[in-house]
Amino acid sequence: MGRYGTRAGVLVCGALLAAGLAPSSSAAQSLRGSSRSLTAQNAQARAHDFTYLRDAAHVRRFVELGYLVPLYGNRDYDIDDEVSFPYARPQVRTFVERLAGQYRRACGEVMVVTSLTRALNRQPPNASSRSVHPTGMAVDLRRSNHRPCRAWLEDVLLSLEANGVLEATRESRPPHYHIALYPEPYTRYVDGLRTGAVQATETRVAAATDAAEAASAEDVAAAGAGSRSYRVRSGDALWDIARAYGTTIAAIQQSNNLLGSRIYPGQVLTIPAGGGVGVQAMHLSYRVQRGDSLWDIARAHGTTIAALRRSNNLRGSRIYPGQVLNIPTQFR
């Protein structure tokens, strides 16, 4: 086997160029997905001479050989418990860690990886027969409920797609982004960043990130004025408002008789003074409200989905109104 775990032979230097697969922006700059996009992904898999892994034993063999590396998650990203095999090509791990750091800095959310390497016999029923997940070159990311975070990520993915280093598709069942990373072009792209040869996308990312941070600072400054009310702006979410005022989603919901998390531009919310209603009651546990998700609860308490699942013996992400969840002590 070659360094990529090839089916036959060794991937020689310049194979991408020889195959006519030099990075380009010829693929449609859209996240809608298409047959052309799938064809491009498979062409890259063939150019890299990647193997389509058959089953769990095949995946484990590639992990042992170092062709696939583990992704553990960190302060910037979580690995969803539903991920079959938390492994990917080394360049995919580099991509995820770089993107997650920028994403968290830009919008304050932890990025969630929902799929990585999937063996052929573990593909879901709705997966395309041409999926490149079995090669280890793909990653799926959960789509945020917050419009500004979605806009930031989509802008970055489209910019990287224009640089010819990946193909990204916005999918809806479940809501996520499918990303097929092109390892060799991406390696050259990152090397170009170090030498200053590639700047456009990173400058764009930095500008969007700085703008997001400035908006967040503006909200915090407004919160410091001691105002007891807040007029909802376009793109706001309860999480953003709770964080800016040093309170919790549940406290705001209780103060405004909200049954769920839905708010609308122009709505005036009462903000509990000093964190206000509900903070003490949530010190050790939290009662699930209609519209809640594990993601919202984890963020509101500064913890992770995985930690909540462990503390409450949850196998999946399903919760129900009235359910009482234990909040991990180490995160309070």
CA distance 286 to 73: 25
Give the tens place of pLDDT for each residue, 288-305.
Answer: 887 777 777 777 777 777
Count other C-beta atoms under 10 Å from residue 45's C-beta: 21
Task: Please give the structure tokens belonging to residue 128.
Answer: 């395309």
Give the tens place of pLDDT for each residue, 184-226.
Answer: 999 888 887 766 555 555 555 555 555 554 444 444 444 444 4
Residue closest to 92 by CA, chosen among 43, 47, 45: 45
The amino acid sitting at 36 is R
Q: Say if residues 80 and 142 touch (Cβ distance below 8 Å).
A: yes
Residue 40 has pLDDT above 90, yes or no: yes
CA distance 100 to 199: 19
Helix, strand, coil percentages (3-state) for the chain, rounded to 5, are 40, 15, 45
DSSP conformational letter for 133: G
Across the chain, mean pLDDT equals 76
Residue 105 has pLDDT above 80, yes or no: yes
Average pLDDT over residues 77-82: 90
User: What's the pLDDT at 120?
Assistant: 94
CA distance 95 to 108: 19
CA distance 46 to 9: 12
Reduced to 3 states (helix: H, G, I; strand: E, B; else coil), residue 217 is helix
User: What's the pLDDT at 71?
Assistant: 93
CA distance 130 to 269: 49
pLDDT class of 49 with cuts at 50, 70, 90: very high
CA distance 129 to 126: 9
User: What's the pLDDT at 293?
Assistant: 77
Q: What are the strands, taking DSSP E only, across 104-205? A: 111-115, 138-142, 166-172, 175-181
Q: What is the CA radius of gyration of the chain?
A: 22
